[in-house]
């Protein structure tokens, strides 16, 4: 396994993206980073880990800040260079540097957090987006989160909206857009099927 290989996985809520990422990392014998990034940001920045968990994958809610940074004119925060930032942006900038450092140091699987945009142009990177039929996602959330059907539907809408807003605010590509990823895969085909596809694609990059 090349030390430079990075697999960036975006996911719809309830699609099984984290489980797939875990299994891919296990099969390839490399680390997976998801919530672990929050702890690393807290350690690196001195910000409260509890607060960082609350704003994890959350875009700034400041309309005036978004306007001043050019977000509504097609300019992402990645290149805005604004000195005074809300905590969400400070967290993103810290996470971006940590993601870059990890990618330089070791092969890994990174879940969400605009990793495919942060590492754009990097060689030996595979970008993946996991989606699924809404009924399968509802069923999964009802089981894994012990929710009623209505609760599961509401939670899916809430988390997907949050992830999309975060990605679209901090990235120059659209969340889930098929032209923004190397692979867009439907987990309805089976979790292990997708794991095998991603692992095969990663290994093929070694050739």
pLDDT of residue 75: 41
Query: Measuring CA to CA, how many Å separate 141 from each of 103, 120, 132, 154, 156?
Result: 31, 32, 12, 11, 8
Give per-residue pLDDT as tens, 113-143. 999 999 998 989 999 999 999 999 999 999 9
Query: Could you tell me the domains of the chain?
Result: 6-204 (3.40.50.300)
Instruction: Give the per-residue pLDDT at 86.
Output: 79
What pLDDT, on a 0 to 100 scale, did the predictor assign at position 58? 85
Measure the CA–CA gap between 19 and 168, rounded to whole angstroms: 24
Q: What stretches in the chain show pLDDT beneath 50? A: 1-2, 62-83
What pLDDT, on a 0 to 100 scale, did the predictor assign at position 59?
Answer: 78
Rounded distance, CA 18 to CA 35, Å? 10
The C-alpha atoms of residue 93 and residue 101 are separated, in whole angstroms, by 12
Measure the CA–CA gap between 77 and 88, rounded to whole angstroms.
11
């Amino acid at each position: 396994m090349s030390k430079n290989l990075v697999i960036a996985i975006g996911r719809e809520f309830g699609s099984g993206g984290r489980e797939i990422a875990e299994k891919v990392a296990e099969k390839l014998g490399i680390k997976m980073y998801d919530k672990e990034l929050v702890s690393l940001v807290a350690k690196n920045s001195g910000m409260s880990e509890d607060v960082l968990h609350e704003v994890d994958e959350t875009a700034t809610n400041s309309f005036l800040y978004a306007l001043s940074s050019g977000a509504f004119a097609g300019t992402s925060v990645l290149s805005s260079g604004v000195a005074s930032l809300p905590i969400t942006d400070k967290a993103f900038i810290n996470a971006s540097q940590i993601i870059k450092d990890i990618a330089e140091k070791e092969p890994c699987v990174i879940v969400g957090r605009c990793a495919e945009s942060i590492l754009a142009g990097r060689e030996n990177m595979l970008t993946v987006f996991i989606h699924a039929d809404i009924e399968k996602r509802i069923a999964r959330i009802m089981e894994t989160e012990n929710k009623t059907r209505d609760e599961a539907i509401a939670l899916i809408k809430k988390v997907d909206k949050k992830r999309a807003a975060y990605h679209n605010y901090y990235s120059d590509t659209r969340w889930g857009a098929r032209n923004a990823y190397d692979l867009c895969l439907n987990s309805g085909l089976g979790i292990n099927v997708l794991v095998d596809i991603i692992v095969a694609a990663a290994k093929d990059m070694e050739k």
